[in-house]
Each structure stands twice: as structure tokens, then as C-alpha cells.
Amino acid sequence: MEWLCIIETLFFGYIIVQFLRLVFSDCDLQLQWAEKLGKSTKVLSRKVVWITGASSGIGEHLSYELAKSGCRLVLSARREDELQRVKKQCLTYGNLVDSDIFVLTLDLLKFDKHRPAVDEVISRFKKIDILVNNAGRSQRAEWEKTSLKVDRDMLELNVLSVLSLTKLVLPNMIDRKEGHIVNMSSVAGKMGLPGAGSYIGSKHAIQGWFDCLRIEMFSKNVYVTNICPGPVFSNLLQDCFTDKPGQTVGASMKTGANRMSTDRCARLCTVAIANKMDEVWISKRHFLFLTYVNQYMPMLYKWIANRMGIKGFSKLKEGKL
């Protein structure tokens, strides 16, 4: 029976190692392996990558990481001056020249502009290798107080505009039998959290819609990656929806809060893209732990969530835990 003891020792040793990896990590275990042992982000060199919401936050820093990897970029957002600032910074990385980066101003809520935008990108670069659906807004409000108009606005921007642009980009990828759709989801898209129902519902929708697309596109060599960050230091609260139409939180995140840095998040996103991973979780340990619990022990997560309540989750989202 000595061999049984050896197997038990190895098994429990494996569990302990995995637990320690999780405790000291800022991403899920598969992404952690990919960062250390997976494909280099240099495999993305000369790929044409279209990033929406590229003027700030994760989109801005992801643009920098992809520029370092040698990608040709299409930068989209509503503010052209900010996009030009991002382009100028991107040109300081790698061997990119001015013609490698195309600034394309686009308001995603103007659905009639999606087709001309896609045509313009394809006319310029002849293809779209990777579409990064990053643009979107968050929300802070209690469920029962939130206006239905806010729910609609959130779905229009965070879900329907993403579906619209993706549906227009896909034919080019399918014809070439090569492509990659990347969605900036959230760990909030993996579980229920209080105080942001409209936003969390929109991210659950993204997860469901694109999990379906991933299966349909498998035989057509088009990949789908859902990236799920936790709290990241950015300007997200500036334009964050509340419970009332047209109202925003208009606040800034406090320096020193327990949030992941934007550049670190962008670095991990780039690793996930280079390795064509289906889904990744990027967060510091508190939200990362809850995501794992919800995925593998949903009843335990519900028990924890009910006892944390609104106040507990508010502190967690604000980086106070």
C-alpha cells in the first residue's frame, strides 16, 4: 500500500501548490502558466488589431502593449484628441511607423456608422486580424432604484453595439479563415454582485452571446476570448452610470486603493490574446478567490455573498479590502 501513500502525498502536494499559486497570483492559474510558459506576445507582430475604447483606461494601455508587440493598430473612441495622444505614445514603442496606426473616431451608439467604419479599416489594411471590444461603461446603483432607461442605455452600449460591430467584422475573418474576437468582459460577468445590476447583467450577456459564438466559429478558425478583469485603477467612475438617465458618478478612484494597475492588466490581456485563450480572469486575490468559488462551489459563493451584503461588496469593489 506504500504506492497509495505516495499518490496521496503527491495529490495533496499538488493541491497545496495550486492554492499557493492562487493566493499569490493576480490572474487565473491557466493565464499564469501562459505568461510564464506560453507563446510570446511577439507572435502578434504585424497583426491588424482594432481596439474600441482606446482613448483611456484598459483600452489605452492595451494599445501600448500591442504596439510593443509590433501590432498594426486601429484606435477607436469618441475623442480624437485623446486617440492622437495614444497614437503618439504607441509610436515610441517597437518599429511602428505612422501608417501602422489608424485613428478612427467612432461613437458606438451610432449604429449606422459601424458599416462605414468596418469598410474603412478593411480598405486601409485589407483585413482585420483581431477585434478588441473594449469600449463600455460601468454603473453604480441599487437594482430596484435603477430606471429602465438606464438598463436600456447599458445594454445598447455594452452589448448591442458590441454585437453589431462584431457581426460586421466576422465575414472578413470567416472568408480568410482566420480571426480573433476579444471581449473585455468582467469577473462581474461570472457572478452576481450587489450595487451594479445593469452593468453586471450586460457582462453576463456578453459571456453568454460570445460563448455561443466561440463554438460556432471553432471549425472556421475564428477564436473568441472573453477577458474578465476585476477592480482595475482607471477613470471608469468618471462616466459611470447611476440609477437615473443621463447622470454619472463623476468621481475619481483614490490612489493607493487595492486595485490592479492598468498597465499590469493590459499586459495580462496581451498574453491572453497571444495565446488565444477562451476565457481569463484577471484580478487581485479577493475577487479572484470569489470567482473561483463561484465557478466551482456556487452554493458556497451564494452563502458568502449573502453574508457580505451590499456594504461588504462595496468595500471590495472600492479596493478597501
Three-state secondary-structure class, residue 133: strand
d(CA 16, CA 13) in angstroms, rounded, equals 5
Domain-embedded: residue 16: no
Q: Is 199 in the active site?
A: yes
Domain assignment of residue 282, given as a range: 37-286
Task: Please choose, from the candidates 228, 280, 238, the residue with its C-alpha nearest in 3D space to the C-alpha of residue 139.
Answer: 238
pTM given for the model: 0.91
Assign residue 155 the CATH number of its domain: 3.40.50.720
pLDDT digits (tens, 9 = 90+) for 157-197: 999 999 999 999 999 999 999 999 999 999 999 999 898 99
Domain-embedded: residue 181: yes
Burial 61-91 (b: 16+ CB within 10 A, else e): bbbbbbbbbbbbbbbbbeeeebbeebbeebe
Domain-embedded: residue 148: yes
C-alpha cell at 284: 487581485
pLDDT digits (tens, 9 = 90+) for 116-162: 999 999 999 999 999 999 999 888 888 999 999 999 999 999 999 99
d(CA 321, CA 315) in angstroms, rounded, equals 6
Which residue among 14, 64, 199, 292 is the active-site one?
199
Question: Range with the lowest mean pLDDT among 28-32, 96-100, 240-244?
Answer: 240-244
Q: How many CA atoms lie within 13 A of 249 on its CB side?
A: 17
Domain-embedded: residue 183: yes
Could you give the number of structural domains in the chain?
Answer: 1
Angle made by CA atoms 182, 183, 186, in degrees to the nearest 5: 140
